[in-house]
Structure 1
């Protein structure tokens, strides 16, 4: 039975996606996350409830060494038959980090977690994806500065990988946490589209999609915020207030199910290079930001990302050249 790899598949939208994949598509799962202690109980419960095979993979997307170790482990699991063919890779894990922190590789942590780790993971694993496989990026409407989402969180800045990786260094004033987050999500969309172009040129039938789950209370996105704000975010009043402002609204259940559909539903097999959004109980295809379609920016981001992750010649997948 095909296996779907999902980063952050043990909590929030990722967990709801995992449940939906197991319940409605009978998919085996490879749950990737930083803590095996958190992953293992979720894997056991999913396997017991839905009768599918669930394997865990230790992976911290903010660490290049962790990504490489996880990719090597995934190759080994495929080679020895522990997991069946890899049908989809869901780049779902992400974080909004307050304050300026740096990864073990010395890169700004939001950018490292949300973009660089998934970029490297795909370079290392996409050649093991099924011929009709899928890649789905969990992006965010905040990437678009023309939307209420983008304006409120912080308008995305230029998606310059070198600048973003070294934000706040050498005495330079760092950009805000909101702008770091929205720009990292712009990088997700740019990468999704560039990946699609590269796969099309290589003749691949792999489908690549970007997905905005909407503002989704209860996902842990606000875990660094004060307790009163975290409580308020879960109330019906706050949901209605955000909706009235024009914020794109999602729920854990619907957004998780939508992510699962994009990963496995045959209806999306011909939708490569497109952007979908969960908004108030509907999943719709829509245009992403104007900048996200800039092929020159996407190419620069791709090439700079290869340099930042120190991609070796033997790791440079022929499908993506």
Structure 2
């Protein structure tokens, strides 16, 4: 049997991905903040696919929580209770509207949740991934300011980790919620590409892939927005308008299945360093933003992220350094 570790696999696109993987007979590790919600989903998935489902509490905004979850997973594998991971899916994330807030580590919450937590998780779990495994980063088309997705969300700013974690501090005017989100997704794409480059230089066959699931309003993603906006996002008018504006739209069913394919289908075994997008029932490799391909910016982002998560020497996998 094969095991896949997924963050946020108990809701939205992640839940649909988990269901698809369960139907394929793949064991799962569900990692998320709500133990009760994960347990209910785990029971469903066990019945659906006759698989083993392990739940691990994980809040990606907390570095201590990430370390604890990674230690738990690694211990299961070391004791032979779980196979090496076939894939690590970095799927959890969010947009935080309203007044700017900060993580328990003192970092701006969007960047902490969407970026630093997964950056650290990949570093810690890489030794547990099978030799031909995959790492899939759920990104977003909003990262590209030259697209309708990016323009509507708020154009991404410079992917400077130090500035992003301190956004709004010391009396400075914070970025809008949209810009914080789109920039975090730009950084996610850059993490995927830099991970792929480092794995490639080391001779590893592990693939690192970036994925845009498209705009899927019925996932609950807009739960922090006013109720009127949440209601409007689920109407046919909203979907029609989004398509006319050029927004990348998809459905929960298709985007979740596409995420499962990227993580396990042999067709994507050699797709390391690519960016895939779900759009109107099609999954295609497309170009990401111009900035996302900047190697020097990616290197700076990587090094600053290493500093921010406080990675210790023994925590650094040889493949990525």
Task: Name the TM-score, length of structure 1 as normaliser.
Answer: 0.99
CA distance in 1, matches of 2:15, 2:54: 14
CA distance in 2, matches of 1:242, 1:193: 29
Query: What residue number does 2:291 align with?
Result: 291
Q: How does 1:265-284 map to 2 (within 5 A)?
A: 265-284=265-284
Q: Could you tell me how far 1:93 is from its partner in structure 2?
A: 0.2
CA distance in 1, matches of 2:243, 2:257: 21
Residue correspondences, number: 320
Query: What residue number does 1:190 align with?
Result: 190
Q: Could you tell me how far 1:82 is from its partner in structure 2?
A: 2.3
The yes-or-no answer on 1:176 pairing with 2:171 is no
CA distance in 2, matches of 1:132, 1:234: 40
Aligned residue for 2:283, secondary structure, equals strand
Segments ≥4 residues shifted beyond 3 Å: none
CA distance in 1, matches of 2:226, 2:80: 46
CA distance in 1, matches of 2:79, 2:201: 31
- 137-146 vs 222-231, which deviates more? 222-231
Query: What residue number does 1:149 align with?
Result: 149
CA distance in 1, matches of 2:265, 2:317: 27
CA distance in 2, matches of 1:246, 1:143: 15
| Structure 2 alignment gaps of length 5 or more | none
| Structure 1 alignment gaps of length 5 or more | none
Deviations 1:205-228 (A, max 9, x none): 001100001110211110011112
Q: How does 1:150-165 map to 2 (within 5 A)?
A: 150-165=150-165
Deviations 1:84-109 (A, max 9, x none): 22110000000000121000000000
CA distance in 1, matches of 2:63, 2:278: 31
Q: Could you tell me how far 1:37 is from its partner in structure 2?
A: 1.1
Query: What residue number does 1:108 align with?
Result: 108
Query: What residue number does 2:167 align with?
Result: 167
- 142-151 vs 217-226, which deviates more? 217-226
CA distance in 2, matches of 1:180, 1:83: 37
Query: What residue number does 2:63 align with?
Result: 64
CA distance in 2, matches of 1:127, 1:71: 11
CA distance in 1, matches of 2:49, 2:279: 28
Q: How does 1:129-148 map to 2 (within 5 A)?
A: 129-148=129-148
Aligned residue for 1:218, secondary structure, equals helix
Deviations 1:59-89 (A, max 9, x none): 0000000000000001111122222221100
Deviations 1:240-289 (A, max 9, x none): 11111110001111000000000000000111100000011111110000
Q: Could you tell me how far 1:234 is from its partner in structure 2?
A: 1.2
Q: Could you tell me how far 1:38 is from its partner in structure 2?
A: 1.0
Query: What residue number does 1:76 align with?
Result: 75
Query: What residue number does 1:125 align with?
Result: 125
CA distance in 2, matches of 1:85, 1:278: 28
Q: Could you tell me how far 1:34 is from its partner in structure 2?
A: 0.6
Query: What residue number does 2:31 align with?
Result: 32
